Amino acid sequence: MREHVLRMLQARLSILSIGLCFLLFGLTAAADVLIVTDRQHPVRAASDVRLIELDRPMRIEAELSAGLPADPGRASEIVRQRLREGDIQDRLRKAYQGVVEARGLGIGKIPAVVVDQRYVVYGETDVAQAVTRIEAHRRTQP
């Protein structure tokens, strides 16, 4: 009898958690969600959520200049070659565009979860929680 009750509770909890996942997925899918953070402040989010890492440009630049020789002429040649052969230019452009976008939104602290370029929750590392808080706020506002 006790095992039967436990299995029923587990089944109900599973159904409830699946429903909650669908609800949270629906909220993030229906809204434009953007995360602004850096490597020091990791955030849990679905893979389809946009992510801006403010320290990404510096990391890409470090990759570009890694292992360069002391000879300036040779170092310059290697950097030009890396820029021609890889996707570093495109990654740098996208990384700096993200930084500009975050600054344009007025993001002052990280991590930040931004929904519809209008609502922001600072300090929350769980995107689903942040979106839930924003949706709760939206329901109370006319």
Average pLDDT over residues 27-45: 81
Between helix 72-85 and helix 56-65 the angle, nearest 10°, is: 120
Contact 123, 108 (CB under 8 A): no
53-110 confidence digits (pLDDT tens): 999 999 999 999 999 999 999 999 999 999 888 899 999 999 999 999 999 999 989 9
Q: pLDDT band at residue 10, thresholds of 50, 70 and 90?
A: low
The percent of residues above 70 in pLDDT, for the chain, comes to: 77
The b-or-e profile of 13-49 (16+ CB within 10 A means b, else e) is: eeeeeeeeeeebeebbeebebbbbbbeebebebeeeb
The yes-or-no verdict on residue 138 having pLDDT over 70 is yes
What pLDDT is stored for residue 130 in this prediction? 92
In the beta sheet, which residues pair with residue 53? 37
Alpha-carbon torsion 124, 126, 128, 132, what sign?
negative
What pLDDT is stored for residue 3 in this prediction? 54
Q: pLDDT band at residue 20, thresholds of 50, 70 and 90?
A: very low
The DSSP bridge pattern shows strands 112-115 and 33-37 to be antiparallel
